[in-house]
Amino acid sequence: MRATFEATPNIAVVKYWGKRDEKLILPTEGSLSFTMDETLKTRTTVVYSKKFKADSFWLNGQKIDLSDKETAERLQLLDVIRRKAGIQDKAHIASLNCFPTAAGFASSAAGLAALSCAASMAAGLKLNPRETSMLARLGSGSACRSVLGGFVEWKKGVKADGSDSFAEQVAPATHWPEIRNVIAVVDATKKKVSSRAGMKQTVATSQLYKARLAYLPGLIHDMKKAVLAKDFETFGELTMRESSNMHAVMLDTWPPILYLNDHSKDVMHAVNEFNANGIQAAYTFDAGPNAHVYTTKNQAGAVQKMLEEIPGVTETLVCGVGNGPKRLETGHLLDESGNVIPHAFNQSKGIVFT
Amino acid sequence: MRATFEATPNIAVVKYWGKRDEKLILPTEGSLSFTMDETLKTRTTVVYSKKFKADSFWLNGQKIDLSDKETAERLQLLDVIRRKAGIQDKAHIASLNCFPTAAGFASSAAGLAALSCAASMAAGLKLNPRETSMLARLGSGSACRSVLGGFVEWKKGVKADGSDSFAEQVAPATHWPEIRNVIAVVDATKKKVSSRAGMKQTVATSQLYKARLAYLPGLIHDMKKAVLAKDFETFGELTMRESSNMHAVMLDTWPPILYLNDHSKDVMHAVNEFNANGIQAAYTFDAGPNAHVYTTKNQAGAVQKMLEEIPGVTETLVCGVGNGPKRLETGHLLDESGNVIPHAFNQSKGIVFT
């Protein structure tokens, strides 16, 4: 009844921004992303036991208060797993973000993907990626894409019960191994609006949102085609336009949601200049000001240098495309009785486990 | 054959962003604005003479090169006036921005409105405001609204020749005399994309633009209703949402158009906080980062103070609503022979003429 998994973030090129079902986390449209390699990863161990009086959760060694409403919602997948497995045991969960820096890339996607894998495995369920992705989706929509490696689509689905809204691999990491994502961390002092609250506001108030929804199916088709053809020029332009399209409907939300800052804009301008003779780099921004610049292996160094020269960019990091979650046989964060293994958490954030 | 007019800028609450005819400057949709009072104004003198070999233009005392394509396009209204008046005389034009500070609020709207009035009058034409507004429109679309005072609508029109695309007063300045516009000038280092080029790109590339066009007719109806009812709460919310809607389609343009900067965002956040107990102030941003915050007389001082406390706001200025262009019998910038009157230009920008 113990399992440990590692999972990695995914960075969308067609973004998820809006739900058609708040409880089941069903999206208004499909989305597409690359799952990142292990440059950034989250490790999670789950143990079930009849002895536990309640579910408990340790994140980076700190016990987390599960009475918080949003945290409780994110863990609803535990009840689904117990129902499927026919057990009532409570769970101990320990999770550790193994990031090379303290840059704050805490990724709910990586965390929820690792949790879905570990919690279902520890409960004795043998799920396929589609089923696991639906569990992850219940914790954090975009997490469902991190259950698979390579280039991944989250299918919108049409059913009310969510049974056709899952992630599917479009192409494995080996299809386009040259793809890199250069992350540019920028100074940001502004308070962040949570994605969950923000996208709800957008769906409710943006005058432009329906036009975005009308645009996305064709974009998803074109983006998949570009990736399958390894056509970076098309992929890059579509990626940048899609990022701005999402931030446009965020701005058009009432009250407005403003994630991009002047440093983000500087990155956009610098990338556009870098691309003067053809698109070789493509920015995309999630619900925050940090830039993710997709490029290819032979340009990654030049892109990183270009980004490092922008005032306000405090740190850069180059990721490749990864293979999705993997099960670990050693390096558990909890012992078999569900007790935290202290030395597992004593490692600094700067050290990636082996 | 000499006439001098003063005109003032207008600040739109439903914005003009997109042409259906590039040459005749016909908009894709209607727009609405208040014409400002004489806090900011432009004075223009026009003289025609058979003795002049060419049209000449002095702006703030400097002779302007009329071979520049964009300047030439802006002055196409002179040929229209000559055709209407049956004259072929060349014109001398002198224009002076009478702004209390050097803050850079050079307003093509005020300039082109004053020019349309002065140039048609000097040519012996007796035009009504509708006809004058159509002349101003040929110079700079939004200038057509500055030909009238108070709350003004630029009618989209449907005819190919532009004869039904003109400005019309919705309510005079006396209807809602309490309205104020507090201008917040912010630090801006970025190079500005010209409105003319920018809106053309938006029409050509934004996926969201059609949704904006679908939204505007209802918005224009609701905005007029709110102003006629002097309902600031509704007026303010619609104004802020419309500003963001326009900047959203700018962001959704390819390549993206980014006028708002971090200081603009700070103003937006500060105004939203100021409005915590009800909307008493409403920001709107034109094609640049400076904020125009509409409010009412009894709140203007508090709004100005609030804006002055925002880091990055370098200057504020309070304007009321004005009555539109007026003809001057003294204070000409050119003598009757069309020679520049030097002392008229010797006055500093800090001095408003009497």
Q: Domain ranges in chain A?
A: 1-172+325-354, 178-320
Residue B101 has pLDDT above 60, yes or no: no
Q: What pairs with residue B14 in β-bridges?
A: B32
Among A247, A252, A267, pick the best mutation site for testing chain B contact (most B Cβ within 10 A).
A252
Q: Tell me which residue of A117, A174, A114, A180 sits closest to A150, measured CA to CA.
A: A174
Question: CA–CA separation, A151 vs A131, rounded Å?
Answer: 18
> Token pair 């336009």 is at which residue?
A241
Residue B350: pLDDT band with limits 50, 70, 90: very low
- Residue B225, CB-side half-sphere exposure with 13 Å CA sphere: 8
Residue A333: pLDDT band with limits 50, 70, 90: very high
Segment B123-160, tens digit of pLDDT: 999 999 999 999 999 999 999 999 999 999 999 999 99
Mean per-residue pLDDT, A222-237: 98
Instruction: Give how far A208 is from chain B: nearest CA, Å.
Output: 6
Of the ranges A61-75, A185-199, B299-313, which is most confident?
B299-313
Q: Tell me which residue of B84, B54, B85 sits closest to B67, measured CA to CA.
A: B54
Pick from B211, B247, B254: CB nearest A207: B211
- Cβ neighbours of B257 in A, within 8 Å: none
Residue A345 has pLDDT above 80, yes or no: no
Residue A192 has pLDDT above 80, yes or no: no
**Three-state SS at A254:** coil
**Three-state SS at B248:** helix
**B1-172+323-354: what CATH class?**
alpha beta
Residue A102 has pLDDT above 60, yes or no: no
Question: Which residues from B are below 8 Å from A when comparing CB atoms?
Answer: 190, 207-208, 210-212, 215, 237, 240-241, 244-245, 247-249, 251-256, 258, 261-262, 265, 268-269, 272
Which range among A112-121, B201-210, B297-306, B344-353 shows the weakest confidence by mean pLDDT? Answer: B344-353
Pick from B210, B247, B269: CB nearest A251: B247
- Asked if A31 contacts A153 with a C-beta cutoff of 8 angstroms, the reply is yes
Residue of B61 and B318 predicted with greater confidence = B318
Mean per-residue pLDDT, A126-137: 97
Looking at chain B, the whole-number percentage of residues with pLDDT higher than 90 is 85
Q: Where are the alpha helices (DSSP H) in chain B?
A: 69-74, 76-85, 108-122, 129-139, 195-205, 209-228, 232-251, 262-274, 297-308, 342-346
Put simply, the answer to whether A261 touches B265 (Cβ < 8 Å) is yes
Residue of B284 and B59 predicted with greater confidence = B284
Pick from B237, B251, B272: CB nearest A251: B251
Pick from B212, B254, B265: CB nearest A208: B212
Residue A149 has pLDDT above 80, yes or no: yes
Residue B288 has pLDDT above 50, yes or no: yes
- Asked if A123 contacts A48 with a C-beta cutoff of 8 angstroms, the reply is yes
Mean per-residue pLDDT, B317-323: 96
Pick from B237, B245, B269: CB nearest A207: B245
Residue B191: pLDDT band with limits 50, 70, 90: low
Mean per-residue pLDDT, A48-63: 94
Put simply, the answer to whether B254 touches A261 (Cβ < 8 Å) is no
Among A190, A244, A275, pick the best mutation site for testing chain B contact (most B Cβ within 10 A).
A244
**B100 prior amide bond cis, ω within 30:** no
Give the strand pairing for B19-21 and B26-27: antiparallel
Q: Supply the mean pLDDT for chain B.
A: 93
- pLDDT in the model for residue A352: 41
- Asked if B295 contacts B303 with a C-beta cutoff of 8 angstroms, the reply is yes
- Cβ neighbours of A254 in B, within 8 Å: 237, 240-241, 244
Question: CA–CA separation, A250 vs A258, rounded Å?
Answer: 7
Q: What is the dihedral of CA B109, B113, B119, B123, to 10 degrees?
A: 150
Which range among A164-168, A183-187, A330-334 shows the weakest confidence by mean pLDDT? Answer: A183-187
Q: Tell me which residue of A207, A317, A12 sits closest to B249, measured CA to CA.
A: A207
**Three-state SS at B140:** coil
Is there a common fold for A1-172+325-354 and A178-320? no
Q: Is B33 exposed, middle or buried (0-12, 13-18, 19+ CB in 10 A)?
A: buried
- Cβ neighbours of A261 in B, within 8 Å: 262, 265
Looking at chain A, the whole-number percentage of residues with pLDDT higher than 90 is 85
Q: How many CB atoms lie within 10 A of CB B129?
A: 20
Give the strand pairing for A90-98 and A151-154: unpaired
Q: Which helix (H) or strand (E) holds B288?
A: none
Segment A67-79, tens digit of pLDDT: 888 888 889 999 9
Segment B206-220, tens digit of pLDDT: 999 999 999 999 999
Residue A99 has pLDDT above 80, yes or no: no
Which range among A116-120, B64-68, B343-347 shows the weakest confidence by mean pLDDT? Answer: B343-347
> Domain A178-320 adopts which CATH fold?
Alpha-Beta Plaits (3.30.70)
Residue B12: pLDDT band with limits 50, 70, 90: very high
Put simply, the answer to whether B252 touches A272 (Cβ < 8 Å) is no
- pLDDT in the model for residue B205: 98
> Token pair 């405090």 is at which residue?
A314
Q: How many CB atoms lie within 10 A of CB A273?
A: 9
Question: CA–CA separation, A286 vs A272, rounded Å?
Answer: 18
Q: Which amino acid is at A14?
A: V
Question: CA–CA separation, B114 vs B146, rounded Å?
Answer: 9
Q: What pairs with residue A62 in β-bridges?
A: A59
- pLDDT in the model for residue A100: 62
Instruction: Give how far B258 is from chain A: nearest CA, Å.
Output: 7
Put simply, the answer to whether B251 touches A244 (Cβ < 8 Å) is yes
Instruction: Give how far B270 is from chain A: nearest CA, Å.
Output: 12
Put simply, the answer to whether B237 touches A249 (Cβ < 8 Å) is no
Q: Which two tokens stand for residue A270?
A: 């610098």
Put simply, the answer to whether A244 touches B252 (Cβ < 8 Å) is yes
- Cβ neighbours of B244 in A, within 8 Å: 251-254, 256
Instruction: Give how far B241 is from chain A: nearest CA, Å.
Output: 7
Pick from A237, A245, A261: CB nearest B252: A245
Q: Tell me which residue of A316, A325, A294, A345 sits closest to A100, measured CA to CA.
A: A316
- pLDDT in the model for residue B347: 56
Put simply, the answer to whether A241 touches B215 (Cβ < 8 Å) is no
For B4, list phi and psi in degrees, rounded to 5.
Answer: -130, 130
DSSP secondary structure of A47-59: EEETT-SS-EEEE
- Asked if A150 contacts A177 with a C-beta cutoff of 8 angstroms, the reply is no
- pLDDT in the model for residue A346: 66
Q: Which two tokens stand for residue A308?
A: 């490092």
Residue of A101 and B171 predicted with greater confidence = B171
Q: Is A354 exposed, middle or buried (0-12, 13-18, 19+ CB in 10 A)?
A: exposed
**A1-172+325-354: what CATH class?**
alpha beta
Q: Tell me which residue of B226, B232, B237, B241 sits closest to B299, measured CA to CA.
A: B232
Residue B346 has pLDDT above 80, yes or no: no
- Cβ neighbours of B248 in A, within 8 Å: 208, 248-249, 251-252
**A342 prior amide bond cis, ω within 30:** no
- pLDDT in the model for residue A122: 98
- Asked if A327 contacts A5 with a C-beta cutoff of 8 angstroms, the reply is yes
Pick from B256, B261, B272: CB nearest A244: B256
